[in-house]
Each structure stands twice: as C-alpha cells, then as structure tokens.
Structure 1
Amino acid sequence: MDNKFKKRLNYALILSMITIGYNTLEGAISTFFGASDETLALFGFGLDSFVEVLSGVGIAHMIYRMKKRSVVERDSFEVTALKITGTALYILAAGLVVGAVLAVVNRSEPETTLAGIIIAVLSILTMYFLYREKIKVGKKLDSQPIISDAKCTKTCFYLSFILLTSSLLYELWEIPYVDALGSIGIAWYAWKEGKEAWENARTKSLSCSSDCC
C-alpha cells in the first residue's frame, strides 16, 4: 500500500468521522427544537440523523479495516450495524406516519419552523461538501463502499430539502398540515433506507446497486 493510497484512506476516514460528529450534533439540536416547537418534521429529521450515526460507524469501521488489509466483504460488526440501522429506520418511518396522522386528527400545528429552516440550510451545505469529497476520494480509491456512502450522504441532502420546503411553507404562509406532510416525506426516505440497509446486511457484499450502503 503506497503513501498516496494511505493518505486517501485517511481522508476518507476523516470524512466519515466528520459525518458521524455532524449527524450527532444535528440530531441533538433538531430533536430539541422539534420537541420544543412542536414540529414533527424537524423532530423526525433529528431522529434520522441519530440513525445515520449508526450507519456512519459501520462505514468508519470498514475504512479502518481497509487501512490494514484488503477487504472483500462486510464483517460481523458492519452487518450488525446495518441490521440495527435498518430496524431503527423502519421504526422511525412507522412513528412518523402515526405522528402525522395524529397531528392532522388533532389539528396540531408547530409554534414556529424557523429552527427547521436554519438547520436545513446548514445541513444542505454540509452534506453537499461531504458528498462531493466522498465521491472524489471514492473514485480515486476505486472503492464502491465509499462511493455508496457518498450516495447515502446525498440522500441526507434530499431529506434536508424536504425539511427546508415544509419549514419555509409553514413559516411564511402557515399552510395547514404542511409540517405533517414534511414528516411523511422523511418517513418515506427512512423506510427506503431501512429496506436497503437490511438488503445490504443480507448480501454482505461491498458492491451494491442501491443509493445507500
């Protein structure tokens, strides 16, 4: 393993650690303001960020193994991380759907969605940077797992736009139930990611056709 390859792996590991750290912070802030402002979309977005931390730990572990030897398939730690991630995403999706239904039935609306707007904008900028850098280093290393992780980051990018749209619509025009609709959008992505996580855990393959590995 030459020095250039090692440096690229180190950079990939740093990007993975930044992802874990950012999602942890984003999850804590989003769930706090989501609960205090009674905005389900922001609260669900925060919970999804926490789940993405589990996925990020599995990716970081894989890159660390790459630094030591050639990796041909996922190990038991990575498979377990995927299974936990998938299960958590299924639960999150179901919880958000139930929450959205209850919000409509009870006619509950957020006090404000300003925090959601700010968090969404910061997330869009951060996820775009991480996606771009992960794609670059993944292609240079010819690493499908790192490229797939970049696509997973791209999914978080889309989730941020859902949060931004629902938060803006409510904050500017107070459109009824738009927060509930935003949470449904997040639930759909969570369900999709959960399904992909379980499929990747089942196959153990490092290459995959899904957008999030």
Structure 2
Amino acid sequence: MEISLYNKRLHYALILSFITIGYNLLEGIVSTFYGASDETLALFGFGLDSFVEVLSGIGIAHMIYRMKRNPVVERDSFEITALKVTGTALYILTAGLVIGAILAVINKSEPDTTLAGIIIAVLSILTMYFLYREKIKVGNQLDSKPIISDAKCTKTCFYLSFILLASSLLYELWQIPYVDALGSLGIAWYAWKEGREAFENARSKSLSRSSDCC
C-alpha cells in the first residue's frame, strides 16, 4: 500500500477513536445524570459503561498513534495498563448493576420515566452504527486486526444501546414491572463479557490475536 494512503487511513482511524472517546464521555455524563434523576438503573449503568469505554478508547487512540510513527506488533505498557483498568472497572460495574437490580426488585423500585433512556439509546444506535461501519472499513483497508477488534467493541456498544432502548420503551409505554432492572442485568452481562476480554487481551501482548474487544 502506498505510504501516503496508509498514513491517511491511519489518521482517519485516529479521528474515529477521538470521536468515540468524545461521544462516550458526553453520553456517560448525560446518561448518569438522567439515570440518577429519573431513578432508572439501566440508563445509569449504561452511562457508567460509557465512561469505561472512554478508558478503552484512550488505549486504542494511543495504539493508533504509535502505528502512525512505527509498525506495531505488540501492546506497550500503557495499553496493557489501560486494558487492566478497563477490565477491573467493568467487573466492578457488573457487580454494582447486579446488586442494584436485586435491591430494585426487593424494594419494588421503579423509574419515574424512561423517556431520556429512549432518546439516548436512539442517538447511541445511530452513532455506534456509523463508528462501527467506518472502523471496519478502515480496519480492512489497513489489514489491521486491532482496529477491526476495536470495531467489534463498538458493535458491542451498539447492542447495549438496543438493550437500553428495549427496556426503556417497554417501561415508558406499558410500565412493565422490573423491566428496568432486567435491562440493567443485560448491560451487566455485556460488561462482564467485555471485562473478561480486556483481561485476556492484557495477558497477550501480541496484536495478532482476534477478539471481540481490543
């Protein structure tokens, strides 16, 4: 591949990683605010997961920046630390969401409204679909397994948005009991899965292995 074209595509991949970080940061702030004020555990957990994705995104951006300077075959200490911190945060989030869901059922807690969750989920679905499509495209063009892996991580966020949308819609339209708690458990399952993959990737310095999340 022509060097100038390769660098342009790497630059675009770096821009996509910055967009991912910025969007997840904004999404995390808005989601946790409305999740707390409306007492919807699914939205609050979704927001916390967005903050964790910021940590993961920083590791990815760092890796792509290194790729722009020299060929990269292994993760460096910064990326490994970012993966370990991400994995730990996701495990803590999983435990918190499971405990929160159990307490919500015991105390018969229900959200005031899940309208914010519907709006945020729709925006997230559109944004994550765009990011996934573009990351897959540039990852294939560069034949880069790490960028393709990051795209798969974005696809997981895409699925999480559908869980939030489903639980929020069901409650807002029909006030189905405990559907918000059930939605938070769905987010917890994905958080646990992502956390496990983060630690697996941290143990393997090689970037040649393929996984669902970088």
Q: Distance in 2 between matches of 1:89 and 1:47?
A: 9
Q: Are 1:192 and 2:193 an aligned pair?
A: yes
Structure 2 unaligned spans of 5+: none
CA shift, 1:15, in A, is: 0.2
Q: Distance in 2 between matches of 1:208 and 1:106?
A: 45
The aligned runs of 1:143-158 (5 Å cut-off) are 143-158=144-159
Alignment correspondent of 2:168: 167
Alignment correspondent of 2:133: 132
Alignment correspondent of 1:12: 13
Q: Which runs of 4+ in 1 moved over 3 A?
A: none
The aligned runs of 1:104-119 (5 Å cut-off) are 104-119=105-120
Question: Please, what TM-score do these two structures have when normalized by structure 1?
Answer: 0.99
What one-letter code is carried by the residue in structure 2 that aligns with 1:85? T
CA shift, 1:205, in A, is: 1.8
Secondary structure of 2:141 counterpart? helix
CA shift, 1:210, in A, is: 2.1
The aligned runs of 1:1-213 (5 Å cut-off) are 2-213=3-214
Q: Distance in 1 between matches of 2:39 and 2:143?
A: 45
CA shift, 1:209, in A, is: 3.3
Q: Distance in 2 between matches of 1:152 and 1:181?
A: 22
CA shift, 1:105, in A, is: 0.0
CA shift, 1:204, in A, is: 1.4
What one-letter code is carried by the residue in structure 1 that aligns with 2:209? C
Give per-residue Cα distances to partners, 1:66-124, cap 9 Å, x unaligned. 00001010000000000000000000000000000000000000000000000000000
Does the 8 Å contact 2:145/2:208 carry over to 1? yes
- When the two chains are superposed, the root-mean-square deviation of aligned CA atoms in Å is 0.7
Q: Distance in 1 between matches of 2:93 and 2:144?
A: 30
Give per-residue Cα distances to partners, 1:122-144, cap 9 Å, x unaligned. 00000000000000000000000
Structure 1 unaligned spans of 5+: none
Secondary structure of 2:123 counterpart? helix
Percent identity of paired positions between Structure 1 and Structure 2: 84
